[in-house]
Amino acid sequence: MRFVLRSTQAASLCLLITGWWVPMSESLGWSRYAHETSGHLAEIHLSAEAQTAVEALLGDDSLGEVAAWADRVRGERRDTAPYHYVNGPRDQLRPSHDDLHLPQGTAYTAVLKYQQALRDDDLPRQTRIEALKFLVHFVGDIHQPLHTGFADDRGGNDFEVIYRDEPYNLHRYWDLNVIEPRLDRFSAREYADHLNRSYSDAQKALWITQTDPKPWVTEARRYIFAGLYPVPRHGEHEGGQQRTTPVPIMDETYRDVWMPAAELQLARSGLRLAGILNEVFAD
């Protein structure tokens, strides 16, 4: 049995397109590869002032090279764990003010927090370096739809699927595998160049101005409400009896539909990160 996309889900997704952590491999998906790609894409669109400021803080490191740093230090910096996601309700697309502003922080408040830290020249240099590293990562996290999902299933971590005949979960698939075919074709820097060529100048000019993270959360959640969660297939087996797969099976049909959405989100994250840094360092 294989996953079958419902026609209503496919239609919703087509309209949407046209209009993040399990340590399996740090070289896959949003877990590292996508974060690096987003950082490298942002580098292409930095202003001269922002590029100079980034180099002054990071030295020989690039935005792409530091983009996964927040995941690497998550174990020792436990206070930052809630910054990797922002949850919303199942029955409402837009999270409430309280959803966005939890006492322990969210990805949304983290983006605001670290922007402010970068603007403060009175802070120690190391604090501002870390603020830049965190900002690069959390901008990327907000654009992974399941980092803006539901608390009751931990952003799809508790939503079981089968992938390559093994037990898996939906969040893990999106973090590690939804853009997996690009790994054999591109390095992260090459993938950033590919994405940069894949969208029009008008689209990129729009995204670089969209530096308010609040609409990003709703935008990412739209994919969830448009059918991102797969469903088991109903079909027949021998004897003509109906059979339902116990859990959804992730196959190429799912990836063919959702990889363009993932790539669109990656492109947006890179351009919006550049826009934020251009604004911060222009000040």
Task: State how far the Cα of 170 lies from the Cα of 180, in Å rounded to an integer.
Answer: 14
Q: DSSP assignment of 43-67, as one string?
A: HHT--HHHHHHHHHHHTT--HHHHT
pTM: 0.88
What residue segments make up the domains of the chain, in order of their start? Answer: 7-282
Q: What pLDDT score does 31 carry?
A: 79
Collapse the DSSP code of 190 into the 3-class scheme (helix H, G, I; strand E, B; otherwise coil) and give the result: helix
Q: What pLDDT score does 242 carry?
A: 57
Q: What pLDDT score does 240 carry?
A: 56
- Residues of the chain below pLDDT 70: 1-29, 233-245, 283
Q: What pLDDT score does 14 carry?
A: 43
Q: What pLDDT score does 247 carry?
A: 86
User: Residue 110: CA atoms inside 13 Å, Cβ hemisphere, count?
Assistant: 27
Domain 7-282, CATH homologous superfamily name and number: P1 Nuclease (1.10.575.10)
276-to-59, 64, 87 alpha-carbon distances in Å:
20, 16, 23
| Cα 213 to the center of its chain, rounded Å | 13
Q: What pLDDT score does 239 carry?
A: 57
